[in-house]
Structure 1
Amino acid sequence: MLVLPVFLADLASLVFPETCLACSESLMRGEEHICTQCRAQLPYTDYHKLPANQNPLARRFWGKVPLTHTLSYLRFLRRGRVQHLLHQLKYQGQREVGQTLGRWYGAELTSWGLHNEFDLIVPVPLHPRKLAKRGFNQSDTFAEGLATGLAVPWHATTLRRTEHTDSQTRKNRAQRWQNVATVFEVAEPHTVVGKHVLVVDDVLTTGATLEACAVALLAAGCRAVSIATIACAEH
């Protein structure tokens, strides 16, 4: 009874082959959005395996905001697979990139015992104007995947962006902080009081946006805040 559906699926894959979102080569049966070769060659940070005082990402926040865990799955390298994946996610509407990488990273963090650390996962929010234009929040797709991999609840609207800000791309750290310092608020404070919240974003550069989110969450009564991103840019 199952032979025909499998045959039809195989036929469809020949006529309309799915391609890897990192390298654009055809996927083999059993591969999910990213081919096995690309997955093996992604530039993983492995920061979750390091003590906090040896984590180079954590140092970016020392003296600015207290974070329990400072995590990033991949290194952002220009013109590399990670940049291509993030472009597919943000500008081509390929939400599966965020969801898949989130599940994989969540499973990796779970294997290191971090699944018991967090009570809630929240994404860095987009302003409603930008959300309406893009149609989805790329950070929320990663949060959804992490929630699955870690078996931890996530909530898309816990944080709210109150102002539409300029792009951070061409700003230095001081300018980035000034751009976002007061634009985040906790929309539902009762959901975070006494909890360890994991805030997630797509890319960490200077960390100003995540720092501003962490400050808002701690002011609302969080017990602790950690951060995680799909990728981080090297200093």
Structure 2
Amino acid sequence: MKLRETYIADFVSLLFPELCAACGDSLVANEHLICTSCRITLPYTNFHLLPDNIVAQQFWGKIKLEGAFALFYFAKGGKVQNLMHRFKYKGQKEIGNLLGEIAGAQLIKNDIYKNVDHIIPVPLHKKRLSQRGYNQSACFAEGLAKQLNTTVMEHNLIRPAATETQTRKSRFDRYQNMKEVFYVLNPEELKNKHILLVDDVITTGSTLEACGAQLLRIEGLKLSIATIAYAE
């Protein structure tokens, strides 16, 4: 019976091959979502090894961070953009889970991230969440939580106000657009905790800065950030 099922599965995969979400080539046996070649050659930042990396530098003098991390460098037309497009707009939220696990396997090697109490994804406004069907940052957070052995907290930091698109805005305009957009429902729950705030892509950092500013109003809270990609 098992042999017959294997033949059927092989026949189906021949007719409808699974494709790598990064390069588009066919996946072979034991490959999942991303082919082995891409897993090795994707543009990893290794920021978990560099405490003063360029993501951390974006927040110097703005908000106090314990650690700052992005898994990949983002380039237009590159494999990371392919991954992000499938993840955010094609409903393949399992890509976010996988990238979270890959990122978590790196972060667990850094002592800063070993004592994270909760992972908080940057929230979406309910209208955007309804349109997309899921919060991509939450999918990434779930994968991270598996590796860091901690919990994802989705419903404390909220986004009660919708904002204009950030596309083509300057850094100052982006920050003004996001200022006071986020709200913490239960600050007591986060007192004296180390929070890992996560998003999908960081460009100017205005969204993470706005979220972080709200969280850091809480007594004793320590804050780190992590994203899937860094876009220069």
Fold conserved between structures, TM > 0.5: yes
Q: Which moved more, 1:85-94 or 1:112-121?
A: 112-121
What TM-score do you get using the length of structure 1 for normalisation?
0.94
- The equivalences for 1:37-186 within 5 A come to 37-50=37-50, 52=51, 54-186=52-184
Report Cα offsets for 1:88-109 as digits up to 9, x if no partner: 1111111022111101111121
Q: Which residue of 2 aligns with 1:11?
A: 11
Q: Distance in 1 between matches of 2:69 and 2:220?
A: 18
Q: Which ranges in structure 2 are unaligned for 5 or more consecutive residues?
A: none
Asked whether the equivalents of residues 193 and 221 of structure 1 are also in contact (C-alpha less than 8 Å), the reply is yes
Q: Give the AA of the match of 1:59.
A: Q
Residues 66 and 112 in structure 2, CA contact (< 8 A), matched pair in contact too? no
Distance in 2 between the 1:90 and 1:48 partners? Answer: 25
Equivalent residue for 1:214? 212
Map residues 187-202 of structure 1 onto 2, 5 A cutoff: 187-202=185-200
**Conserved? CA contact 2:87–2:95, under 8 Å:** yes
Gap regions ≥5 residues in structure 1: none
Distance 2:110 2:11 in 1: 40
| More displaced 10-residue stretch of structure 1: 213-222 or 156-165 | 213-222
Deviation, structure 1 residue 8 = 3.0
Deviates more, 1:59-68 or 1:109-118: 109-118
SS of corresponding position for 2:163: coil
Q: Is the 8 A contact 1:76 1:231 kept in 2?
A: yes
AA at the equivalent of 2:19: T
1:224 is aligned with what amino acid?
Answer: K
Q: Within 2, Cα distance between the matches of 1:70 and 1:84?
A: 24
**Amino acid paired to 1:47:** F
**8 Å CA contact 1:163, 1:183 repeated in 2:** yes
Aligned residue pairs total 232
Q: Provide the rounded CA distance (Å) in 1 between the counterparts of 2:77 and 2:163.
A: 27
- 2:44–2:73 CA contact under 8 A, matched in 1: yes
2:8 partner amino acid: L
State the Cα distance separating 1:206 from its structure 2 match.
Answer: 0.7
RMSD: 1.5
CA shift for structure 1 position 7: 3.1
Query: Percent of pairs identical after alignment?
Result: 47
Mapped contact 1:125–1:161 kept (Cα < 8 A): yes
Confirm or deny: 8 A CA contact 1:115 1:152 kept in the other structure: no
Per-residue Cα deviation, 1:189-227 (whole angstroms, up to 9, x for no partner)? 233111100000000011111011111111133520000
Scaled by the length of structure 2, the TM-score of the pair is 0.95
Q: SS in structure 1 opposite 2:63? A: coil
User: 2 CA distance for matches of 1:123 and 1:79?
Assistant: 26
Q: Distance in 2 between matches of 1:9 and 1:129?
A: 39
